[in-house]
Structure 1
Amino acid sequence: MLRKILIIEDTPTIAKVQKHIATTVGYHVDIAESLAEAKALLSQHDYFCAVVDFVLPDAPLGEAIPCTVKADIPTIVMTGNLESQTRSIVEQYPIIDYITKENKQAYHYLRRQLERLPRNENVRVLVVDDSISSRHYVSALLTRHKYQVLEACDGIEALAVLKDNPDISVIITDNEMPNMRGEELCIEIRRLYTDDDKAIIGISGVETENLSTRFLKNGANDYLRKPFNAEEFYCRLSQNVDMLEHIQTIRRQANTDYLTSLPNRRYFFDTVKKSLKARHKKELYGLIAMIDIDHFKQVNDKYGHEGGDAVLESIGQAFAQFFPNDLVARLGGEEFAIYFKDTVADHCKERLECFREYLEQSSNELTEQRISFTVSMGLAAQVTTDIESLIKQADERLYQAKASGRNRLVH
């Protein structure tokens, strides 16, 4: 579903540029050339965010800003200049940001803000402070930018919240708290999570010598002194969130097969080794299936490598459909592996058979060239910590499936 954005701008050329940016990012755009038009549109539609010109024919002193703010619409203000009077008016309102229309860079910045807002909905931030008013203030700043916010009153509660919510990305912690100081909380968090997993921003209103240095040495990524400027707060937060996203992108690229978007061999081996150790302690089976596309060379010979790539992409999508909760990886060429979350062999056999039958009957519908293909599979189950022996057993059964006519499962 496209998110709707309201652009309030009376200069057609600027409105056209803003609309192009928003449309390119993925928004559905409505444009109002005056405050009156904006009010009419606001009465008819719900908006994800708004870009508001400070000076309008019927709103020369920023009167359009409270119009969108009071409707709980995240608002970005754009203005021709930011002299002291304009700034004092703008800063009265809980807006997302203000941007001066000075040069091309302003519109690049607008684009980044419009891209960031939808992403923020998936970013969870933990605010740790024993002061209710301070905690709620920071939480309100975060909510304005559409972050998901959790709160804790001290370090001990913060660690419990982190344990229950491992997908928290950023921790913003005060230092002066009972039970556990912020810098001590940093040490505990870094004992559990690396810089690549979570960012920590320390804050404090006390003038303590070298506190910022102590925060950083104990694992914080950044530090802010209270009372801080909201604009600086957002800039520092965005930089830390961007850093985490870049790291995740690098990880994903390093661990993912570029063609099928499935995990690659290295990720599969690393993950399965850890899981097998955990299962072995509980005397649970580890189950791995090895899968090979039948006569794949003939597919490449007949349809070219473009056709072969299409088959690989389509089977990657089929794996995602049939085994959404299991670990499926491309080990190389036309060879794939599944490590099952399920520890009951009969259940896994049934699902593999359904997958095989689906490809036998419907594979020609998965590619534009309507290429029909089948798969051979071998399934192995052992209580073991040795991934190599488990894969070897599954591989042997895969070759048995191929030798006995292909398009079948041997277990």
Structure 2
Amino acid sequence: MTRRILIIEDTPTIARVQKHIAVSAGYEADIAESLAQTKELLAKNTYFCAVVDFILPDAPNGEAIHYTVNSDIPTIVMTGNLDNQTRETVEKYPIIDYITKENKQAYQYLKKQLIRLPRNEYVKVLVVDDSRQTRNYISSLLVRHKYKVIEACDGIEALKVLKENPEVSVVITDNEMPNMNGEDLCSEIRLQYSNDEKAIIGISSSNALHLSARFIKRGANDYLRKPFNAEEFYCRLSQNVDMLEYIATIKRQANSDYLTGLPNRRYFFEFTNKSLRQKSASNAEVGLAMIDVDHFKAINDNYGHDAGDEVLKALAHAFDSHFPGQLTARLGGEEFAVYFANDSQDESLALLDKFRAYLDTHSAGLTKHNIHFTVSIGFCNTASTNVDSLIKEADIKLYEAKHSGRNKVIS
């Protein structure tokens, strides 16, 4: 979905730069050069956010901000300079940010904010405070930046909410609460989630010495003293969400195959061994398939390695649609694996043969080189505590499939 942004700017060169930034961040952009044009566009369109110049020919004192804010459009104000009077005027409005045009980093910062806003729609934040007024205030700040918000009135309720909503990324918690305070809540959260899974920001109105240090030693990532400045709140929150995103990206890169995007060998072994340990108590059977592209060397020799890469990427894409509930991975070269943790042997074999038949029939249309390719599959279904033994058994079956004609499933 392409989001629409309204740029309100009377200087054409600046408006063009802002539009270029917005388009590069994934937006469709409309430009208004005056308050009158702003009103016309607001009457005709719905906007995801707006960038508003403080001074316009027919709105010299920031009047355009009123119209975007009153239309419930997240608003970023850009000003030529930010003297005290301008700052006071701007801060009366519930905007998401203000940026000084004279700052050399202004347009880089604008792009960052425009990229963050759509991302924030997928970030869930838990606000924990026994004061309804404080919860409402913090929640309003978060909603302004499009974060998803849930609330709890103390630490005990917060733990319950976290259990019901494991996708929560950030916890913002007061310290002075009944039943369980913020410091103890930090400790409890860290027993279940690491710093790279959930960020915790502690807040307090207390003047107690070393409270910020105590919060951080208990597992918080950051600390703010109430009453805090909204601008600082947003900066610290964004830094913590960015940190979680960076770590997730690093993990994804470490656990993914660079060519196909599938989980790599390292991740496959870690995941399956953990799953097998969990299932060992019940002696439950699991399935594992080893899959190899037939005559892959000939594809590389006849069409080139770029074509071979296209085949591997097409195969990975086919995995997504055929094995949505299973772990698939590229173990190396043209060798792939599928782990069936909860399917019966008959169900797994049926899925594998359907996949094999699909490739035999449709593979020529999956790459720009129109290469027809097939796969051989070896499958085993047994109780095991170690993935190496499963791979070894499935490899034997794969060898049989290769040497008995290829393009078949052997179990």
Q: TM-score range by the shorter chain?
A: over 0.9
Q: Distance in 2 between matches of 1:342 and 1:301?
A: 39
* AA of the residue aligned to 2:243: M
Q: Distance in 2 between matches of 1:219 and 1:130?
A: 21
393-402 vs 277-286, greater mean Cα deviation: 277-286
Counterpart in the other structure of 2:295: 295
Q: Is the 8 A contact 1:285 1:343 kept in 2?
A: no
Structure 1 gap ranges (5+) = none
The superposition leaves residues 326-353 of structure 1 with CA deviations (integer Å, 9 ceiling, x where unpaired) of: 1000000000000124321111111111
Counterpart in the other structure of 1:267: 267
Q: Distance in 2 between matches of 1:59 and 1:323?
A: 58
- 1:361 lines up with 2:356 in the alignment: no
* AA of the residue aligned to 1:268: F
Please report how far the alpha carbon of residue 237 of structure 1 lies from its aligned counterpart in structure 2 after TM superposition.
Answer: 0.4
SS class of match (1:390): helix
280-289 vs 126-135, greater mean Cα deviation: 280-289
- 1:235 lines up with 2:235 in the alignment: yes
* AA of the residue aligned to 1:245: E
The superposition leaves residues 44-89 of structure 1 with CA deviations (integer Å, 9 ceiling, x where unpaired) of: 1110000001001111101110101111110000010111111111
Counterpart in the other structure of 2:375: 375
Q: Distance in 2 between matches of 1:328 and 1:175?
A: 44
Q: Distance in 2 between matches of 1:59 and 1:130?
A: 42
SS class of match (1:395): helix
Counterpart in the other structure of 2:396: 396
- 1:280 lines up with 2:280 in the alignment: yes
Counterpart in the other structure of 1:215: 215
Q: Distance in 2 between matches of 1:50 and 1:17?
A: 15
Q: Distance in 2 between matches of 1:341 and 1:3?
A: 40
Q: Distance in 2 between matches of 1:125 and 1:6?
A: 27
Q: Distance in 2 between matches of 1:99 and 1:208?
A: 35
Q: Is the 8 A contact 1:284 1:343 kept in 2?
A: no
Counterpart in the other structure of 1:156: 156
SS class of match (1:77): strand
Counterpart in the other structure of 2:82: 82
Q: Is the 8 A contact 1:325 1:341 kept in 2?
A: no
Q: Distance in 2 between matches of 1:242 and 1:113?
A: 12
Aligned residues: 411
Q: Distance in 1 between matches of 2:149 and 2:72?
A: 17
1:5-404 equivalences under 5 Å are 5-404=5-404
SS class of match (1:270): helix
SS class of match (1:393): helix
The superposition leaves residues 295-337 of structure 1 with CA deviations (integer Å, 9 ceiling, x where unpaired) of: 1000110011111111111111111111122100000000000
Please report how far the alpha carbon of residue 104 of structure 1 lies from its aligned counterpart in structure 2 after TM superposition.
Answer: 3.3
Q: Distance in 1 between matches of 2:221 and 2:278?
A: 33
TM-score calculated relative to the size of structure 2: 0.99
The superposition leaves residues 198-238 of structure 1 with CA deviations (integer Å, 9 ceiling, x where unpaired) of: 11100001111111110011111100000000000000000
Please report how far the alpha carbon of residue 150 of structure 1 lies from its aligned counterpart in structure 2 after TM superposition.
Answer: 1.1
SS class of match (1:372): coil
Q: Identity across aligned pairs (percent)?
A: 65
Q: Distance in 1 between matches of 2:63 and 2:235?
A: 26
Q: Is the 8 A contact 1:127 1:149 kept in 2?
A: yes
SS class of match (2:297): helix
Q: CA RMSD in A?
A: 0.9
Structure 1 segments, 4+ long, off by >3 Å, are: none
Please report how far the alpha carbon of residue 280 of structure 1 lies from its aligned counterpart in structure 2 after TM superposition.
Answer: 2.5
